Amino acid sequence: MTSTSSTPAPGRYPAGARAFPHRSLLGIGQLETHEILYLLDEAEQWVDLNRQSKKHTDRLAGLTIINAFFENSTRTLLSFEIAGKRLGADVVNMHAAQSSVKKGETLIDTAMTLNAMRVDAIVIRHGSSGAVQLIADKVACPVLNAGDGQHEHPTQALLDALALRHTLRARGRSELNGLVVTICGDILHSRVARSNILCLQALGAVVRVCAPPALMPARIEMLGVEAYHDFDAALAGAEVVMMLRLQNERMEGQFVPSPREYRHLFGLTPERLARAAPDAIVMHPGPMNRGVEIDSTVADLPDRSIITEQVEMGVAIRMACLDVLTRRARGVEGWA
């Protein structure tokens, strides 16, 4: 494979819909490597657009997209909303707190209701693993998983891969192949970790995960990762350090004794970062607990931390996903 260019090269992917044959985006686990690369390459045009002063196209004009968030979210919801609007779609946000879900309506009934409104795409976040697939099976339009329980958060993994690719390219490296990535934090409860493990491995990276035993999923090594409880060992030679948020509600007593004890063992301090490869890249999906899993001095390192780039790439990736998944309904040639 030749080095990636910033726009998809013709002929690099199967023609038309065969480049991305899925109706919905439920998880990285459903994707082939070339399908992941296709979405990353499709996103490049939106990175360029988003850096211009006029950030708008009418590509999805007339389409209605619902962001159905059954779990609180700020950045993912905002990112999907901006992505839809920049593509010219009508975007409606449905918050669980205001919905009939609170009145006891089942998830299936909610899905049927959304379906009956003839929306063109539904973006869903839900607290239960598998909930998004359950809805996708019941509606006629494409469904995008914006996080389901502890299962998957595919657009997060895609945006992380895109942010990594941009950074590596700026440093003269073209691919993720062979890249050593250490993911540290609450792996057990993290859908971000699961999607990133699958995505990074598909792109050829070597993935290490690091967590205290209580926050490490069973048989995690069966996913092809190296598992560590010793952060220093996990960092040795790591070229990318991806820190995950410790959910404060899971902290006290239950899984780890206290935030400061967690930081003592698993916090990314400048001293710890020095154990990683020189110029190792620092990532965090946000929101951060500064001073717990990551020190401010590390999070704000200008040439090392790409945390804000991750957020930037998020909009572009979501634009690419919305564009690709609605092509069939829009009658795009080769996709209809």
Partner 1 sequence: MKQARPLAITGGRLVTPDGVRPGTLRCSGGRIETVGDAAVQDGDEIVDAGGRLIAPGLVDFGVFAIDKPAFHFGGITRAALMPDQAPPLDHPARVRFAAASGKPDLWVHPLAAATAALEGGQLAELALMRDAGAKAVATGRRWIGDSGVMHRLLQYAAMLGLVVVSHAEDEGLAGNAAATASEMATRLGLPSAPAEAEALAAARDIALAEMTGARLHLRQVTTAAALDLVRAAKQRGVAVTAGVTPAHFMLSDLALKDFRTFARLSPPLREEADRQAVLEALGDGTIDVVASGHDPRGPEDKRRPFADAAPGMAGAETLLAMVLTLVRDGVISLERAFDLVARNPARLLGVAAGELAPGAEADIALIDPEKPWVVDSGKMAASAGNTPFDRQPAQGRVIGLWKGGVPVGG
> Quick count: other Cβ atoms within 10 Å of Cβ 16?
14
205 to each of 200, 224, 307, how far by Cα in Å? 5, 11, 19
Q: Smallest distance, Å, CB 152 to partner 1?
A: 7
Backbone angles phi, psi at 149, to 5 degrees: 55, -130
- Amino acid identity, position 45: Q
Residue 126 as a binder of partner 1 (CB under 8 A): the answer is: yes
Length of the chain: 336
> Quick count: other Cβ atoms within 10 Å of Cβ 282?
21
Cα atoms in the Cβ-side hemisphere of radius 13 Å centred on 36: 27
| Residue 246 DSSP code | P
Candidates 133, 156, 305, 326: give the one binding partner 1 (CB under 8 A). 133
Angle between helices 191-202 and 33-50 (to 10 degrees): 110
Q: Smallest distance, Å, CB 128 to partner 1?
A: 3
Token reading at 84: 């839809």
Residue nearer to partner 1 on the CB measure, 26 or 276? 26
Which of 208, 207, 193, 210 is closest to 266 using CA atoms?
Answer: 210
Write out the binding residues for partner 1, residues 221-250 only, by CB under 8 A: 222-223
Q: Smallest distance, Å, CB 221 to partner 1?
A: 9
- Give the residue numbers annotated as catalytic, written as ranges: 75-76, 103, 125, 153
Candidates 149, 259, 286, 291: give the one binding partner 1 (CB under 8 A). 149
Candidates 52, 53, 218, 279: give the one binding partner 1 (CB under 8 A). 218
Residue nearer to partner 1 on the CB measure, 217 or 286? 217
Which of 110, 69, 149, 145 is closest to 322 using CA atoms?
Answer: 145
Residue 134 as a binder of partner 1 (CB under 8 A): the answer is: yes
Candidates 82, 88, 96, 217: give the one binding partner 1 (CB under 8 A). 217
Candidates 35, 81, 152, 293: give the one binding partner 1 (CB under 8 A). 152
Residue 219 as a binder of partner 1 (CB under 8 A): the answer is: yes
Q: Smallest distance, Å, CB 101 to partner 1?
A: 12
Rounded distance between C-alpha atoms, residue 281 and residue 17, angstroms = 35
Residue nearer to partner 1 on the CB measure, 132 or 162? 132
Residue 57 as a binder of partner 1 (CB under 8 A): the answer is: no
Residue 128 as a binder of partner 1 (CB under 8 A): the answer is: yes
Rounded distance between C-alpha atoms, residue 174 and residue 118, angstroms = 42
Residue nearer to partner 1 on the CB measure, 98 or 254? 254
Residue 131 as a binder of partner 1 (CB under 8 A): the answer is: yes
Candidates 71, 148, 160, 295: give the one binding partner 1 (CB under 8 A). 148
Residue 208 as a binder of partner 1 (CB under 8 A): the answer is: no
Q: Smallest distance, Å, CB 147 to partner 1?
A: 10
Q: Smallest distance, Å, CB 208 to partner 1?
A: 16
Q: Check: CB of residue 158 under 8 Å from CB of residue 317.
A: yes
Residue nearer to partner 1 on the CB measure, 16 or 149? 149
Rounded distance between C-alpha atoms, residue 153 and residue 155, angstroms = 6
220 to each of 68, 74, 188, how far by Cα in Å? 31, 29, 9
Q: Check: CB of residue 128 under 8 Å from CB of residue 96.
A: no
Residue nearer to partner 1 on the CB measure, 141 or 220? 220
Candidates 129, 175, 250, 330: give the one binding partner 1 (CB under 8 A). 129
| Residue 25 DSSP code | B
Interaction site with partner 1 (CB under 8 A): 29, 106-108, 126, 128-131, 133-134, 148-152, 191, 194, 217-220, 222-223
